[in-house]
């Protein structure tokens, strides 16, 4: 008997403007002890399937056809109370968006203990013990202390691990993991994958894992299903899919996987197009709006300099200052980014990468140290007007696409906002034209403009975020894991666009990522962070060939190798 089986699943989102069929006639099965990988285009309907299985489709979404069986028992037509009993206990779910999946007002401990007590019927003390143990298992350092913290005190990757711990805590029979490792560094990722694998093997748990990371697919899955536009286009053993795909879409996907071993000038891309009108226009930056009118002052020396940055968080507020517990998330970080350079920042999850990015963009005020832009110390500028000039040159793509978009604005207004604000166009019609164009270039299509953020998949939202960042025609772009939620082919497309911008216009970037192959392809120099400190800053190639710091060496050794990847149709440009 199949552990989990999905038959002819069909899901649609009806709306006034027509019905979006998100999933169309999909059949999947998971056996006990088996790991099924689901890959596919961003927006293909992968998360929707996961939601449907546990019966938490968001309205107006509804299952318009098909059945779901758990151990032969049909579960999609159960009463809501019976469904609830299955959730968490028998089917564990890890949602795609770790940053918003946790209740902001309760400590991690409260949320863990509550779930453990409910499902395992343990006493409070036991449950607490188990909570700490779980955190330990998912690689949260210092779990005894951390367990008392609130979600906002965790980094993106750490929250993701808490979510995993929550999903695993009742030892369910089936685990549905929606991009569980996107925000994790390779070592933690390896640890988590190991944990999951062990669960599957020892407890005969079945797992459905949705991911864009071919490394993860190669590492953990037994079988792989490939989705495209709501349809299941191909299914087979991992070996088969990665090594010898049949469907042209799968082929195009595999070809776009960034190579960890050598640096290519551009990301290889094989466009898979069903319909001719979907073909993306090639973009000529020299004539395109994005490339025009850059009136920035020339800068001598490095564009961005970061000097001895320190960021202190209060982790336990207290009545008196001396009883307060504080913690330096970033501790004495200095580096510089030259003009036209892409500076990579890698490192342990929770090591302070996002915090550095936020300090540079002015969102956090450093406790100590200085951020200089073109020689000007930004931390000292007081007047808004003056800062404006620099802000226009600087943009940021946030790590979490779910919360960085205002849910009450339409995509059109979100992307147009920076253009309108900086008065980069002369008419509204022009602005709207540019926004449409940008949306197309990030692969969303024009019809996205009138929708609201919550109507999009994770990857699609990330693309909105990217379009918004590009809309100001920035000189310096801070990218906090810009593409981790994207499928590799879209990723390639966007990274190529960034590369073009960099080459033609000298766009400077701070590029934070856990994806080492991407780092290798994108960055000129890399800084490696661990526990709030910069342990190594070096040329990218040097890092990959001869890492110096022990931590760097460890990181690289854990990088998935993807040896057996199909290399069909892949032409190596430059190198």
Partner 1 sequence: MVSFLFKRLLQSFVVMITVALIAFSMFRFVGDPINNMVGQDTTQQEREELREKLGLNDPFLVQFGRFTLNAAQGDFGLSYKYRVPVSEMIFERMPATLELAFVSAIIALFFGIPLGVYTALKRKGILSKFIMTMSLVGVSLPTFLTGILLILLFGVMLRWLPTFGRGDVIEIGSWTTGFLTVSGLKSLILPSITLALFQLTLIMRLVRAEMLEVLRTDFVKFAKARGLPDRAVHFKHALKNTLVPVITITGLQLGSLIAFAIITESVFQWPGMGLMFIQAISDVDIPVMAAYLVLIAFFFVVINMIVDLLYYAVDPRLRADNE
Partner 2 sequence: MEKTIEKTRFERFLDSDVWHSFKSSPVAIISSLVTLIMILAALFAPYIAPHDPFDLVSIDIMDSNLPPAWQEFGEARFLLGTDDQGRDILSTIMYGARISLFVGFASVIFSMVVGITLGLISGYAGGRVDAFIMRVADIQLSFPAILIALLIDGVARGIVPKELHEELSIYVLIFAIGISGWVQYARTVRGSTLVERNKEYVQAARVIGIRPGTILRRHILPNVMGPVMVIATIHLAIAIITEATLSFLGVGVPPTTPSLGTLIRIGNEYLFSGEWWITIFPGITLVILVLAVNLLGDWLRDALNPKLR
Site string for ligand ATP, 352-381 (x = CB under 6 A): xxxx--------------------------
387 binds partner 1 (CB under 8 A): no
The interface with Mg ion within residues 146-165 (CB under 5 A) comprises 155-156
Characterize the bridge pairing of strands 304-316 and 325-337.
antiparallel
Q: At what angle do helices 458-470 and 428-441 cross, to 10 degrees?
A: 130
Q: How far is the CB of 46 from Mg ion (least distance, A)?
A: 5
Residues of this chain that interact with partner 2 (CB under 8 A) are 15-16, 60, 152, 358, 361-363, 384, 387-388, 391-392, 394-396, 398, 400, 403-409, 417-418, 421-422, 428-429, 432-433, 436, 446-447, 449-450, 452, 454, 465, 468, 472
Strands (E), 438-524: 476-480, 508-512
Q: How far is the CB of 156 from partner 2 (least distance, A)?
A: 11
Q: How far is the CB of 476 from Mg ion (least distance, A)?
A: 19
Binding span for partner 1 by CB under 8 A among 89-97, 183-191, 196-204, 490-498: 89-97
44 binds ligand ATP (CB under 6 A): yes
79 binds partner 1 (CB under 8 A): no
Write the CA distances from 26 to 11, 65, 66, 237, 461, integer angstroms: 10, 10, 8, 17, 24
Query: Which member of 47, 351, 404, 431 binds Mg ion (CB under 5 A)?
Result: 47
Q: How far apart are CA 355 and CA 512, in angstroms?
A: 11
Write the CA distances from 439 to 54, 200, 340, 470, integer angstroms: 32, 41, 25, 11
The interface with ligand ATP within residues 282-341 (CB under 6 A) comprises 313, 315, 329
Q: How far is the CB of 234 from partner 2 (least distance, A)?
A: 33
Q: How far is the CB of 56 from partner 1 (least distance, A)?
A: 6
Q: How far is the CB of 89 from partner 1 (least distance, A)?
A: 5
The position carrying tokens 């036991």 is: 126
20 binds ligand ATP (CB under 6 A): yes
Element holding 86 (H helix, E strand): helix 80-86
Q: CA 217, 218, 219, 224: dihedral to nearest 10 degrees?
A: 50
- Paired with 62 in beta bridges are 12
Q: How far apart are CA 157 and CA 175, in angstroms?
A: 19
102 binds partner 1 (CB under 8 A): yes
CB atoms within 10 A of CB 537: 20
Q: How far apart are CA 459 and CA 404, in angstroms?
A: 13
The listed partner (partner 1, ligand ATP, partner 2, none) that binds 88, CB under 5 to 8 Å by sort, is: partner 1
Q: How far apart are CA 53 and CA 23, in angstroms?
A: 12
530 binds ligand ATP (CB under 6 A): no
460 binds Mg ion (CB under 5 A): no
Query: Which member of 58, 284, 388, 430 binds partner 1 (CB under 8 A)?
Result: 58
Query: Which member of 36, 38, 86, 516 binds partner 1 (CB under 8 A)?
Result: 86
The listed partner (partner 1, partner 2, ligand ATP, none) that binds 394, CB under 5 to 8 Å by sort, is: partner 2
DSSP string, 256-320: TSPPSSS--SS-------SSGGGPPPP--TTTSGGGS---PPP-SS-SEEEEEEEEEEEEE--SS
- Residue with smaller CB distance to partner 1, 390 or 402: 402
Q: At what angle do helices 488-505 and 248-255 cross, to 10 degrees?
A: 40
List residues binding partner 1 (CB under 8 A): 54, 56, 58, 84-89, 93, 95, 97, 100-107, 114-115, 118-119, 150, 152, 163, 166-167, 170, 313-314, 317-320, 402, 454
């Amino acid at each position: 008997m199949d552990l989990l089986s999905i038959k002819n699943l069909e899901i649609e989102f009806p709306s006034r403007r027509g019905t979006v069929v998100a999933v169309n006639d999909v059949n999947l099965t998971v056996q006990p002890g088996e790991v099924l990988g689901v890959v596919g285009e961003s927006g293909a309907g992968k998360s929707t399937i996961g939601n449907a299985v546990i019966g938490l489709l968001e309205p107006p979404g509804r299952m318009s056809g098909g059945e779901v069986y758990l151990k032969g028992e049909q579960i999609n037509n159960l009463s809501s109370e019976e469904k609830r009993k299955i959730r968490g206990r028998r089917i564990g779910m890890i949602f795609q968006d770790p940053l918003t999946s946790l209740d902001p007002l309760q400590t991690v401990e409260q949320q863990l203990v509550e779930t453990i007590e409910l499902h395992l019927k343990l006493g409070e003390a036991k449950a607490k013990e188990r909570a700490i143990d779980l955190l330990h298992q998912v690689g949260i350092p210092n779990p005894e202390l951390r367990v008392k913290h609130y979600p906002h005190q965790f980094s993106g990757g750490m929250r993701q691990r808490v979510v995993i711990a929550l999903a695993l805590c009742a030892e369910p029979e089936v685990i549905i993991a929606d991009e569980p490792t996107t925000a994790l560094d390779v070592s933690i990722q390896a640890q988590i994958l190991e944990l999951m694998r062990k669960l599957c093997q020892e407890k005969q748990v079945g797992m459905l894992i949705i991911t864009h990371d071919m490394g993860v697919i190669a590492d953990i899955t037994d079988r792989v299903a490939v989705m495209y536009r709501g349809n299941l286009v191909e299914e087979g053993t991992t070996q088969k899919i990665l090594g010898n795909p049949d469907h042209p879409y799968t082929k195009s996907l595999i070809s776009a996987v960034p190579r960890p071993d050598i640096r290519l000038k551009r990301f290889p891309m094989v466009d898979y197009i069903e319909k001719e009108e979907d073909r993306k226009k090639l973009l000529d930056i020299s004539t395109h709006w994005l490339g025009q009118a850059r009136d920035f002052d020339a800068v001598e020396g490095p564009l961005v300099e970061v000097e001895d940055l320190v960021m202190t968080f209060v982790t336990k507020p207290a009545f008196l200052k001396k009883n307060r517990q504080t913690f330096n998330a970033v501790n004495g970080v200095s580096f510089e980014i030259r003009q036209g350079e892409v500076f990579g920042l890698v490192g342990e999850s929770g090591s302070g990468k996002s915090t550095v990015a936020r300090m540079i963009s002015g969102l956090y005020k450093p406790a100590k140290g200085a951020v200089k832009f073109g020689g000007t110390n930004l931390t000292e500028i007081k007047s808004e007007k003056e800062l404006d000039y620099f802000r226009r040159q600087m943009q940021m793509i946030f790590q979490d696409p779910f919360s960085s978009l205002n849910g009450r604005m339409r995509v059109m207004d979100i992307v147009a906002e920076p253009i309108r604000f900086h008065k980069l166009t002369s008419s509204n019609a022009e602005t709207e034209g540019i926004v449409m164009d940008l949306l197309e270039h990030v692969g969303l299509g024009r019809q996205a403009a009138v929708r609201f953020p919550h109507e999009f998949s994770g990857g699609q939202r990330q693309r909105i975020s990217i379009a918004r960042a590009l809309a100001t025609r920035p000189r310096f772009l801070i990218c906090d894991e810009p593409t981790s939620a994207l499928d590799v082919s879209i990723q390639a497309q966007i990274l190529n666009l960034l590369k073009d911008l960099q080459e033609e216009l000298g766009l400077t970037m701070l590029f934070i990522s856990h994806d080492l192959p991407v780092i290798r392809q994108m960055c000129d120099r890399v800084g490696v962070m661990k526990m709030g400190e910069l342990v190594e800053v070096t040329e990218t190639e040097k890092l990959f060939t001869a890492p110096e710091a022990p931590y760097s060496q460890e990181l690289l050794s854990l990088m998935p190798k993807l040896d057996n990847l199909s290399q069909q149709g892949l032409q190596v440009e430059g190198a």
